Structure 1
Amino acid sequence: MPDSGRSALLGLLRIRELSILLVTVAAAGYFTATSDAFNSAENYQTIAQYVAPWAIIATGQVMLLICGEIDLSAGFVFTLAPFTLMLFSVNGAPLWLALVGAVLVSTLIGVVNGLIRTVLGIPSFITTLGMAFLLQGLVLIISDARPVGAPSEGWLVGVFGGARWSEFAWAVVIVALGQLLLSATRFGIHTRATGGNPVGAAESGIPVNRVKIVNFALTSTLAGLAGILQGTRVGSYDPTNGGFTMMFFAVASAVIGGTALLGGSGTVVGAFLGALLLGIVFDGFNLTGVSANAFNVVLGAAILLAMVLNVSLSLLRKRLAAREL
């Protein structure tokens, strides 16, 4: 291959999000051709409603996965946060203060996860799995296993999920800030180093445990915020909403978007595209009358294919880079 062609190919391969972007565009094109209802403002909003909570939680999960950890309790923080807000509200707190309190409780859960993982050395899979069941029981106790109505009046309600596109707008802003944090700050460099080479990172002076705790806190904070946004948009807070399903969709979005499960690499933008692809496929299946059970087949195949593709592209990048030297 000529040098100019090799350089161009290597440049394209360095764009980690290129493959998932092409697949997302292809999926959108397919459903546009097979369903007249796909390209409509109402359907775009439906897709945005699928994508927003997955993308918000995936932003935190990407940071955690990159530093070599995972949070299985994020879906239950998603479920708990709205009920925490209502608990503060019915006890006399103004809505804005109840909102702040619910988000802070979510952050505290993440800090506890991080401390258990780093201080006691318990693997994050076990730590957050235990926290997930604890939070699930707590939600059922607080809610008496029944949904409650969400606040419906005031500008704050509109900003935090009540307005038509506010939930998706939050997702776009959070993804942009998450990518900026990961790619343009010292903390992002420390996060990558912690997952890529934890021993070397610690020896170079990076506070590895602190980085992990902050990322656990970030993931729980975003999960709690996503739960409040989602419940406010729907108009009710449901104790059966979220859970492991929400968490797995967020992790799937991150993995499909190119985040390595073993840590060290990934992008928030890639996770957003992964969530967008899942949202398009899920919506397209509904429009074309395909059984919902088939979506799980597509989801599993997409995760496996994404992992194989990521490994293959990584090896190809290394080979082409070695030839340039």
Structure 2
Amino acid sequence: MQTSSARNPPAWAALSGLIQIKELSILLVTVAAGIYFTATSTGFNSADNYRTIAQYVAPWAIVASGQVMLLICGEIDLSAGFVFTLAPFVLTSFFKNGAPFAVALLGALLVAALIGAVNGWIRTRLNLPSFITTLGMAFLLQGSSLIISNGSPVPAPTVVDSGLVGIFGGGRWSEFLWALIIVATMQLVLSATRFGIHTQATGGNPVGAAESGILTNRVKVVNFALTSALSGFAGLLQGIRVGSFDPTNGGFNTMFFAVASAVIGGTALLGGSGTVVGALLGAMLLGIVYDGFNLTGVNANAFNVVLGIAILVAMLLNVYLTALRKRASSLRRTA
């Protein structure tokens, strides 16, 4: 009779343990990309270049933190990039009408969250697919940004309260630090709170979740509002960092990079599983590759080719690793 140690040798036990770490594969690829560009370009390992990469990564990671929650519960928000665009102009409107900077900032975030709540209400109450709902909202918000701004960039508040401005994007690393704080908070919410468990249940088994008493529609509305609020916050941080609010900034480009970061980081498009930390690693991989291409003189158009390949490989790898995790779990149960 075989013992459990014979059936599952230490090497396999260690391998099965590593397989259970969802972010391991994307972490290894991200490290490999960093090593490659370190070896092939002279300016990659410098403080200024690290800051450049952080400026790419921060907005994608913040928006992706919300998109992960939505994707896990089986939805998507195509308007997130345009909330990113609109929120700074909402702040400007409040600010020009006499509101203090802090109040204007809070007002812009509340408007962003309200936009997400409207998306969620239309999705859950009118039963319109989120793809259609948020696509329509995206064009509505794009037009609103152009109308409010008259199609021209406007300067961001910089001298009214230098302390607050420095905290909310004006500092050298503040945007990236906010991204790390948000990712850590959202990962904690997802993995260690009842709301996070309800989000995973809503996407993994919506019928079973509803029958067990989970208010699945409410979970979706909250996640829509959360995604929009985070997208608006990312837009504010970036606009304040740059010193200008641009109506052509954000849009579908930012939204697609955020979704790509989530998918590359291991979030399932069909819902039920994913990690916010994985989305951060996905954003870091995209930022490293994008920056590395610029440093090595590779045509920028090639980045889209790499992005497409990365998404396809990530999806195939997720399917393969999911099967391996199920096998490892079954072997542990039979041990």
Q: TM range, normalised to the smaller chain?
A: over 0.9
Instruction: Please give the residue correspondences for 1:231-246 in structure 2 after superposition, counting only pairs within 5 Å.
Output: 231-246=239-254
Q: TM-score, normalised by structure 2?
A: 0.96
Partner Cα separation in structure 1 for residue 293 and residue 103 of structure 2: 41
Pick one of 82, 89, 95 that aligns with 2:95: 89
Pick one of 131, 138, 142 that aligns with 1:132: 138
Q: Deviations over 1:269-297 (max 9, x none)?
A: 00000000000000000000000000000
Partner Cα separation in structure 1 for residue 104 and residue 8 of structure 2: 62
Pick one of 18, 25, 32 that aligns with 2:31: 25
**Structure 2 spans left out of the alignment, 5+ residues:** 1-6
Partner Cα separation in structure 1 for residue 113 and residue 198 of structure 2: 21
Partner Cα separation in structure 2 for residue 72 and residue 321 of structure 1: 36
User: Sequence identity, in percent?
Assistant: 75
**Root mean square deviation of aligned Cα:** 0.8
Match of 2:149? Answer: 143
* Letter of the structure 1 residue corresponding to residue 321 of structure 2: L
The 3-state SS of whatever aligns with 1:81 is helix
Pick one of 48, 51, 70 that aligns with 2:54: 48
Instruction: Please give the residue correspondences for 1:66-145 in structure 2 after superposition, counting only pairs within 5 Å.
Output: 66-145=72-151
* Letter of the structure 2 residue corresponding to residue 51 of structure 1: V
* 1:299 and 2:317 correspond: no
Segment of structure 1 superposing worse, 93-102 or 276-285: 93-102
* 1:226 and 2:234 correspond: yes
Pick one of 170, 186, 195 that aligns with 1:187: 195
Match of 2:3? Answer: none
Pick one of 66, 77, 81 that aligns with 1:60: 66
Pick one of 273, 280, 286 that aligns with 1:278: 286
* Letter of the structure 2 residue corresponding to residue 140 of structure 1: L
Partner Cα separation in structure 2 for residue 2 and residue 98 of structure 1: 60
Which 4+ runs in 1 deviate beyond 4 A? none
1:316 Cα shift? 1.4
Segment of structure 1 superposing worse, 315-324 or 96-105: 315-324
Partner Cα separation in structure 2 for residue 87 and residue 308 of structure 1: 46
* Letter of the structure 1 residue corresponding to residue 50 of structure 2: Y
The 3-state SS of whatever aligns with 2:249 is coil
* 1:172 and 2:180 correspond: yes
* 1:258 and 2:263 correspond: no
Partner Cα separation in structure 2 for residue 53 and residue 199 of structure 1: 34
Q: Which has the larger radius of gyration?
A: 2
Match of 1:4? Answer: 10
1:2 Cα shift? 4.2
